[in-house]
């Protein structure tokens, strides 16, 4: 029996809406990453982007377990000496809640051309409204 490999012409993409209200960040992000990669589909191929589009609403209502909400810091470096900067989770969630979920999902995708193609299918909104009604997204419970 031969291994099945999907062709780009066979890929059919769906749109899903996921509500992040009251969800735990890591568990929620791993489910979204699986949908973006296409691992829930029978035609999954690791060398192709066969995943679906995901719209995340209520990103500002995401939660962390334990004391992580007070202790977690997102680090970045400018590339210059002394250029290390950190942003606490609560501050980033208050200012840009979309970035919290996007960073969590990006950490669970491949860090190559394929992963950059997959992350483009993720749309995150801090509130409960989104502008993708024309795509007829299906609600998904994660």
Domains of the chain by residue range: 14-64+96-140
Superfamily of domain 14-64+96-140: Ribosomal protein L13 (3.90.1180.10)
pLDDT at 5: 86
The one-digit pLDDT tens for each residue of the chain (142 residues) are 888 888 989 999 999 999 999 999 999 999 999 999 999 999 999 999 999 999 999 999 999 999 999 999 999 999 999 999 999 999 999 999 999 999 999 999 999 999 999 999 999 999 999 999 999 999 999 9
Q: SS3 letters for 9-64?
A: HHCCCCEEEEECCCCEHHHHHHHHHHHHHCCCCCCCCCCCCCCCEEEEECHHHCEC
Q: What is the DSSP letter of 125?
A: -
pLDDT at residue number 4: 85
pLDDT of residue 1: 81
pLDDT of residue 125: 98
């Amino acid at each position: 029996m031969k291994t099945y490999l999907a062709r780009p012409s066979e890929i059919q993409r769906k749109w899903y809406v996921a509500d992040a209200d009251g969800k735990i960040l890591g568990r929620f992000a791993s489910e979204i990453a699986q949908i973006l990669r296409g691992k829930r589909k029978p035609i999954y191929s690791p060398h192709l982007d066969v995943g679906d589009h995901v719209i995340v609403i209520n990103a500002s209502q995401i939660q962390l377990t334990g004391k992580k909400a007070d202790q977690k810091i997102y680090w970045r470096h400018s590339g210059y000496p002394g250029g290390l900067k950190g942003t606490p989770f609560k501050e980033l969630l208050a200012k840009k809640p979309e970035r919290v979920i996007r960073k969590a999902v990006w950490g669970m995708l491949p860090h190559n051309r394929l992963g950059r193609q997959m992350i483009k299918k993720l749309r995150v909104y801090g509130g409960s409204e989104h502008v993708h009604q024309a795509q007829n997204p299906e609600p998904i419970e994660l």
